[in-house]
Amino acid sequence: MADAAASAPPFAEGGEAVIVADGLTRRFGDFVAVDDLSFAVEAGEILGFLGPNGAGKTTAIRMLIGSLPPTSGTARVAGHDVAVEPYAVRRAIGYMSQLFSLYGDLTVRENLDLFAGLYDLSGERRSGRIRWALANAELEGREEQLTAMLPLGLKQRLALGSAILHEPAVLFLDEPTSGVDPAARRAFWELISDLAAGGTTILVSTHYMEEAEHCHRVALMNRGRLIAIDAPSALKASLERPILEVRTSDPSRAAAILDGLEELEDATMFGRTVHVVVSDEAVARERIAAALEREGVELGEVRRVRPTLEDVFVSLVRKSGGVVAG
Amino acid sequence: MTFGRTLAIARKEALQLRRDPRSLTLGFLIPPFLIVFFGYAITFDVDDIRLAVWDADRTQASARLVDAFVASGYFRVVDRLERYPDATEALQSGDALAVLAIPRGYARDLAAGPSPVQLLVDGSDANTATIAIEYAQGIASAHSRRVTLAERDARPTLVPDSRAWYNPSLDSRNMVVPGLVAVIISILAALLTALTIAREWERGTMEQLVSTPVTRLEIVAGKLAPYLAIGLFDVLLAVGIGTLLFDVPFRGSLLLLLAMTSVFLLAALGFGMFLSAALKSQVLATQFAIVATYLPALLLSGFIFAIANMPRVLQLATYLFPARYYVTVTKAIFLKGVGIEVLWPQALLLSALASLAIAATVAVFRKEVA
């Protein structure tokens, strides 16, 4: 999984990309939720929208599925302009919103029947796809249960099954795994990878940095702007300077002390540790020890770590003079 | 618009309805309960008027006049006053609604010519007062005729013979029950649908719906269908209650009533759904639905007050409310038994309001999600 990009399917040759955003912008009054977003996603690719809450991920997705008109800019999905042919777009896509969006007061089967009806499925295909969705969510035998009573992980799988009953060419997932336990999340991502391998184009947003590792490419977003888009490995490789992980008795004070210290690029809280981007590792180790001792913060282990996407994210945001939103 | 997608929405809505106790109560229990309850409670008939009598004449003739009032069945003597000024006290305390004052010399004057008696009425309830005065005049003139015939052996000149068509006994229940059906259905219809679209926004299910190929019109039509069925069921039930329990005549065509009811329901349900789509909040839409339907259905529909007697501005305002047409329709079909040849203006205007409500719902809906 470290190098998902290597296993990315070859991009479709010649033809137009499946998702094309060109200068997509959305304002709400004075607030710019999405600012001049441009990118393209090829067939069978998984693109991850990565960024904190408020980065504009959901707004961007809502414009791409044609449920929110852009203030300016255009988007084409599966060959259709979302503003001009929203219904053609909707026939070609599946969408799963971040809220649980099935009907809790309907049973599993009633929910699937509803979406089969809405996607105009009939006859053999309808019953076949419903069977598939039940098997996929491991809900066979629980068809008559009210959806509200299912555990969250199963709800999510059922919601995904409903969203792709009609086997859409493009799938939009808005934070599909928020609140789901790690095991269910892993199973969910396996499913996503299988779909992509089968040729489905997938755009998925998340604020879990580690989930982005499953994506062929990641679009880093902050405050409505796209700050970088590349394969996860390439993004991490772009961070040339070493990163030291510092364990202390008081991580938040340590981060404040170390941030802005000479020879150290920046220091950020990272769980219960502090990640410090440095230019010279040996010099930095000395300075960290000295500074923390002076301030009376007990220093634990200091070790060099491989950069994570979060390090890349923080570093890129700082480099552009910005602040991490959310 | 495809039938399959509309049906999918309708089916889903019906299933949700079946599991929602609030909607079930509102749709199936409240209407028959209200019709039975108010069918008994509301009456515009004025009888049993409390009468105080000041008889200063104390003759056989004056006693016969009082008897004539009592015998009519509309008046009941509650007090005999000793002094004329007591009349003020009787009316002020509310013990009596009317005072019949017969002056000394009534019998003597009666033998010779016109003999004045006085009726004092508590006018603070103008409706009842007017009716009491009419009754008293009727009783007095009938009594006067009898006196003239018996004691002066003269011929009466003009004898009016009035008859009330469609409701010969002028039983107000015959007019209350059909109107009540219209008023109750108007109020409940908007309440039922006020929740539907707002609930989907609040629960986040609308996001999912609008990402599918289903169109705005399909959602609105599919959501209306089950409520239309409930409304028709309620009206059938009301016809049953009205005719069997209250003996209200049903002279028209049931089929015409159902057809007109459907159009009316589309207008009323559509209005509730418009509120739901426009306000996107179940609480707001419900409150609005109550305010916007309750008083107009009661006061501007012609149910209680005749529209013809309203000020011009208010008369024009009544055209905006579906209840106005539907009260006319139910009364006409129940009591007069008329057909579409008379009710076509109502059919036309109700259709216009229904189309307007549905078009407006689709329009505000479209604004929010492209």
Q: Do B369 and A103 touch (CB under 8 A)?
A: no
H/E run at residue A270: strand A264-270
What is the pLDDT at residue B187? 86
- CB-CB contact of B197 with B276 (8 Å): yes
CA distances from A4 to A186, A234, B46 (A): 15, 11, 88
Residue with tokens 């004898």: B159
Nearest residue, CB atoms, A69 vs list B4, B205, B370: B370
Interface of A with B in 16-45 (CB under 8 A): none
Residue A326 contacts B, CB cutoff 8 Å:
no
pTM: 0.80
Nearest residue, CB atoms, B369 vs list A67, A82, A119: A67
Residue A119 contacts B, CB cutoff 8 Å:
yes
CB-neighbour burial class of residue A84 (10 A; exposed 0-12, middle 13-18, buried 19+): exposed
- CB-CB contact of B195 with B286 (8 Å): yes
Residue ranges in chain A modelled with pLDDT below 50: 1-13, 326
What is the pLDDT at residue B138? 87
Mean pLDDT of B145-149: 79
Assess whether pLDDT exceeds 70 at residue B157: no
Assess whether pLDDT exceeds 80 at residue B190: yes
Phi, psi of A63 (to 5 degrees): -70, -35
d(CA B75, CA B119): 12
Q: Do B369 and A68 touch (CB under 8 A)?
A: yes
What is the pLDDT at residue A148? 92
Please give the mean pLDDT across all residues of chain B: 88
**Per-residue pLDDT reduced to its tens digit, A152-181:** 888 888 999 999 999 999 999 998 887 788
Phi, psi of B50 (to 5 degrees): -75, 120
What is the pLDDT at residue A12? 43
Assess whether pLDDT exceeds 90 at residue B127: no
Cα separation of the two ends of chain B: 17
**Most confident option among A119-123, A272-276, B42-46, B207-211:** A119-123
Query: Would you list which residues of chain B are within 8 Å, Cβ to Cβ, of chain A?
Result: 2, 4-5, 7-9, 11-12, 15-16, 19-20, 203-205, 207-215, 369-370
What is the pLDDT at residue A324? 61
Question: DSSP letters of B193-258?
Answer: HHTHHHHHHHHTHHHHHHTSS--HHHHHHHHHHHHHHHHHHHHHHHHHIIIIIS-----S-HHHHH
What is the pLDDT at residue B40? 84
Q: Do A117 and B208 touch (CB under 8 A)?
A: no
> How far is the alpha carbon of B264 from chain A, nearest alpha carbon, in Å?
29
Mean pLDDT of B318-344: 91
> How far is the alpha carbon of B187 from chain A, nearest alpha carbon, in Å?
26
What is the pLDDT at residue B223? 95
Residue A247 contacts B, CB cutoff 8 Å:
no
d(CA B322, CA A148): 38
Mean pLDDT of B294-302: 86
d(CA B180, CA B168): 20
d(CA B122, CA B78): 15
Residue with tokens 């929910």: A111
Residues of A in contact with B370 (CB under 8 A): 66-69, 82-83, 86
* Centroid of chain to Cα A21: 17
Nearest residue, CB atoms, A67 vs list B4, B16, B370: B370
Count of CB atoms situated within 10 Å of the CB of B32: 16
What is the pLDDT at residue A5? 42
Mean pLDDT of B285-293: 90
Question: DSSP letters of A6-36?
Answer: GGPPPPPSSSPPSEEEEEEEEEETTEEEEEE
- CB-CB contact of A264 with A287 (8 Å): yes
Single-letter amino acid code for the residue at A190:
E
* Antiparallel, parallel or unpaired: β A217-222 and A225-230: antiparallel
Banded model confidence at residue B159, pLDDT cuts 50, 70, 90: low
Assess whether pLDDT exceeds 70 at residue B151: no
Residue with tokens 């515009």: B44
Residue A280 contacts B, CB cutoff 8 Å:
no
- CB-CB contact of B358 with B266 (8 Å): yes
Lowest mean pLDDT across A97-101, B115-119, B139-143: A97-101
Single-letter amino acid code for the residue at B312:
R
Single-letter amino acid code for the residue at B79:
D
d(CA B364, CA A219): 34
Size of interface A-B (CB pairs under 8 A): 85
Residue A235 contacts B, CB cutoff 8 Å:
no
Q: Do A67 and B9 touch (CB under 8 A)?
A: no
Residue A279 contacts B, CB cutoff 8 Å:
no
Nearest to A108 by CA among A72, A143, A66: A143
Residues of B in contact with A95 (CB under 8 A): 207-208, 211
Assess whether pLDDT exceeds 60 at residue B73: yes
In eight-state DSSP terms, residue A146 is B
Q: Do A87 and B215 touch (CB under 8 A)?
A: yes
Phi, psi of B280 (to 5 degrees): 55, 20
d(CA A197, CA A319): 36
Mapping DSSP to helix (H, G, I), strand (E, B) and coil, where does residue A249 land? coil
What is the pLDDT at residue A43? 93
Residue with tokens 């399917």: A9
What is the pLDDT at residue B59? 92
- CB-CB contact of A226 with A246 (8 Å): no
The residue of A63, A93, A114, A155 whose CB has the most chain B CBs within 10 angstroms, and thus the best one to mutate to test that interface, is A114
Structure tokens given for B257 = 């009533």
> How far is the alpha carbon of A115 from chain B, nearest alpha carbon, in Å?
8
Residue A269 contacts B, CB cutoff 8 Å:
no
Q: Do B12 and A105 touch (CB under 8 A)?
A: no
d(CA B252, CA A199): 65
What is the pLDDT at residue A132? 95
Banded model confidence at residue B164, pLDDT cuts 50, 70, 90: low
Structure tokens given for A56 = 């504009």
d(CA A231, CA A13): 19
What is the pLDDT at residue A7? 40
Mean pLDDT of B352-356: 96
Q: Which residue of A has its CA nearest to B199?
A: A103
d(CA A194, CA A167): 13
% chain B with pLDDT above 90:
47
Q: Do B210 and A67 touch (CB under 8 A)?
A: yes
Residues of B in contact with A69 (CB under 8 A): 370
ipTM reported for the complex, 2 dp: 0.80
